[in-house]
C-alpha cells in the first residue's frame, strides 16, 4: 500500500513523499514507452568513466573531445572527428571508441581501470540513436508529470497512482513486493525515517489499537508536526554544509554557529520552500529589508573551515 503525506516543499520538490508498504505483486505488466533519459541513464555512466578526461576541465581534456555538454560533444575536434552525431551511433566517435577491438583506441583506456558493461554500451547506443538529448543538472530541469504505466488487473496492488510506477519498475527488474509489514514494524520504520528516533511504547500501543483506515495517515501527520522531524532532517543538511561549532583547524576553538543550526531546524519544521531555503542561506544578508532570520540563514557561508592565526 502507498500512502501520500504532505512533506516539506524544499525536501521533495513537489511537496509529497511516498511511504511504501508491501502489497501483492502483479505479474502481467505492460511497460510504457521508455526512452533513455540522460540524467538517469547516461550521465552516471559518462561521469564515472569519461568526464575525467572528456569533461569540463580543459587542462585535463584529451583528444579535444568533451562529453559533459552537447556543444562540445556535437562539435568536431581538431582532426574533424565528432564524439556524438545525434541519431547516428555508428558515425559517432564515442560509440566507435567504446566498442573497438583495438586496445590502443578502446575507451575507457586500460590504465584507467574502468570498463563499460555491455548493458552500458547499449544504453549509450540507444541514447545516441534516440537523438542524444542532453539535460541540465536535475535541479534545473522543470518537473514534468509522466504518463501512468498500463498495468493489467491493478486492483490488488494499485492503491495510488504512484503504485503503478513502483509495480512497473519491479516487474522490469524482476522483483516482487516484500511481504506486508506488521503494524509494529511499520510504525518503527516510519518513526525512525521521519524523526531519527524509535517510537515510544505508548505510540506503538496507540497505533496497534487504532483500527481505522486512517491510522497510518494519522501517524504520518503526527510525526511531521513533531519538532524532532526538523531536527532529523536538519542534520543531513548540516553535514553537507560542513556545519561545525569549532573552527576546524589548529586549536580548533569554539565559534558561535548555533543560531544558523537552529534556523535550519526551524526551516524544515516550517516547511519553507526549497527556493527560499537556498536563497536565504546563500544571500540572506543581501535581501532588501531582510529580517534578522534571513541574515542568520546566511551563516551557511561561514560553515567552511577557518583559521585565525593573527598573521
Q: For residue range 60-115, what is the model confidence (pLDDT) as tens digits?
A: 999 889 999 999 999 999 999 999 999 999 999 999 999 999 999 999 999 999 99
How far, rounded to the nearest angstrom, does the alpha carbon of residue 185 sit from its chain's CA centroid?
26
In the prediction, which pLDDT does 85 show? Answer: 97
pLDDT, tens digit, for every residue of 229-287?
999 999 999 999 999 988 888 778 888 899 999 999 999 999 999 999 999 999 999 99
What distance in Å separates the CA atoms of residue 195 and residue 232, rounded to the nearest whole number? 5
Q: Cell numbers at residue 159, please?
A: 492503491
Q: Cell numbers at residue 275, please?
A: 527556493
User: pTM here?
Assistant: 0.64
Close Cβ partners of 113 (under 8 Å, ≥ 6 residues apart): none
In the prediction, which pLDDT does 157 show? Answer: 67
Pick the closest to residue 227 from 273, 181, 250, 196 (CA basis). 196
CB contact at 8 A, 126 and 144: no
CB contact at 8 A, 69 and 75: no
Amino acid at each position: 500500500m502507498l500512502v501520500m503525506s504532505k512533506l516539506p516543499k524544499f525536501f521533495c520538490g513537489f511537496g509529497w513523499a511516498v511511504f511504501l508498504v508491501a502489497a501483492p505483486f502483479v505479474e502481467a505488466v505492460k511497460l510504457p514507452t521508455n526512452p533513455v533519459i540522460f540524467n538517469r541513464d547516461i550521465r552516471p555512466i559518462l561521469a564515472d568513466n569519461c568526464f575525467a578526461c572528456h569533461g569540463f576541465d580543459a587542462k585535463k581534456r584529451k583528444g579535444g573531445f568533451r562529453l559533459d555538454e552537447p556543444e562540445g560533444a556535437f562539435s568536431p575536434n581538431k582532426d574533424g572527428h565528432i564524439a556524438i552525431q545525434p541519431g547516428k551511433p555508428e558515425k559517432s566517435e564515442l560509440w566507435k571508441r567504446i566498442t573497438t577491438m583495438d586496445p590502443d583506441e578502446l575507451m575507457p583506456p586500460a590504465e584507467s581501470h574502468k570498463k563499460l558493461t555491455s548493458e552500458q554500451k547499449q544504453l549509450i547506443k540507444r541514447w545516441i540513436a534516440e537523438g542524444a538529448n542532453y539535460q541540465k543538472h536535475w535541479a534545473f530541469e522543470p518537473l514534468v508529470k509522466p504518463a501512468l504505466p498500463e498495468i493489467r488487473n491493478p486492483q490488488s496492488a494499485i492503491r495510488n497512482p504512484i503504485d503503478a510506477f513502483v509495480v512497473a519498475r519491479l516487474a522490469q527488474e524482476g522483483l516482487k513486493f516484500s511481504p506486508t509489514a506488521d503494524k509494529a514494524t511499520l510504525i518503527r520504520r516510519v518513526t525512525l525515517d521521519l524523526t531519527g528516533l524509535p517510537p515510544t511504547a505508548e505510540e506503538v500501543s496507540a497505533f496497534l489499537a487504532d483500527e481505522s483506515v486512517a491510522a497510518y495517515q494519522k501517524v504520518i501527520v503526527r510525526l511531521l508536526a513533531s519538532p524532532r522531524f526538523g531536527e532529523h532532517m536538519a542534520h543531513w543538511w548540516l553535514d553537507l554544509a560542513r556545519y561545525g561549532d569549532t573552527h576546524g583547524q589548529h586549536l580548533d576553538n569554539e565559534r558561535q554557529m548555533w543560531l544558523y543550526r537552529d534556523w535550519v531546524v526551524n526551516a524544515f519544521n516550517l516547511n519553507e520552500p526549497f527556493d527560499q531555503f537556498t536563497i536565504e542561506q546563500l544571500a540572506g544578508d543581501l535581501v532588501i529589508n531582510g529580517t534578522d532570520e534571513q541574515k542568520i540563514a546566511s551563516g551557511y557561508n561561514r560553515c567552511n573551515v577557518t583559521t585565525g592565526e593573527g598573521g
